[in-house]
Amino acid sequence: MRIYLLGGKNSTLVTGRASGQSNTLLADVVGTRDPLQVPPWVQLQPSGPEVPRPFLLSHGTTTLAFRCSHGVVVAADTRSSCGALVSDPSSRKVITLHRHLLATTSGTSADCATWLRLLRCALRMRQLSEGRQPSVAGAAKLLALMLKGCAQKDLCVATLLCGWDCQGPGLHYVYSDGTRFSGDVLAVGSGSPYAYGVLDGTYQYDLPQAEAFLLARKAVAHAAHRDAYSGGNVDLYHVRPDGWVCVSREDLSQVYRDKFLVCPITLGH
């Protein structure tokens, strides 16, 4: 059986053999020498001169996640923008990597989708080789190593890896220059300062599930109200010991009206 990881005549052959191509063994892809070794098929070769962009691409979004005793609560808006244009009001910024791991996307949509797809493939190959999924921290380190090798390629990838492993709920941030760190409460995107303003005043690790969901919705709704690049809907996910679930998708304007607007009080004369 032949499995090709990259299409076209330059495909990397994982198993089997093709005429005129060298056989790359499974061990070369998931190797056991370094548990978090970057797969060779994600290393980019130097290319020609960089082509300048015809116009500046502005990025804007609001994604957040926080750890609780019952799991990781993940929320994101759905507005995708290109400069001053709202290119998609209902995009999905939470991507599934496997049953116990989600990733949020912030930055350039194409870059995020491509590198998270490569990470999903690398994690699957690791699972087939070792018989178990890597930890959330291991997945974050692998993605950081992959991106660090392309630090000069003008990528824009900022993601939150949210999952559950043998150590409980895990939350890690990874940026396209190879930066990575973990935390209990993280928000990414142009609306993140407004989201932090709501999260910092209410968050507790032992928040009940219903209150945690409400807090995530309120934080994204407040950010979308103040940040022009965030809006649309709020997607809410919950990563539990038995896997992730999609809790809801709600209109952000309605969430803001329900959670923040208070009916004016009429004062008597």
Residues designated catalytic: 61
Neighbours of 31 (CB within 10 A): 17
* Residue pair 66/73 in contact by the 8 Å Cβ criterion: yes
For residue 66, give Cα distances in angstroms to 7, 14, 125, 137, 251: 38, 38, 28, 15, 21
Could you identify the residue written with the tokens 């209990």? Answer: 184
> Which of 260, 239, 20 shows the shortest CA–CA distance to 139?
239
Specify which residues 98 forms β-bridges with: 101
For residue 191, give Cα distances in angstroms to 5, 188, 218: 36, 7, 13
Specify which residues 67 forms β-bridges with: 72
d(CA 26, CA 41): 12
For residue 5, give Cα distances in angstroms to 8, 15, 57, 202: 10, 10, 30, 45
d(CA 58, CA 77): 16
Could you identify the residue written with the tokens 């993140």? Answer: 192
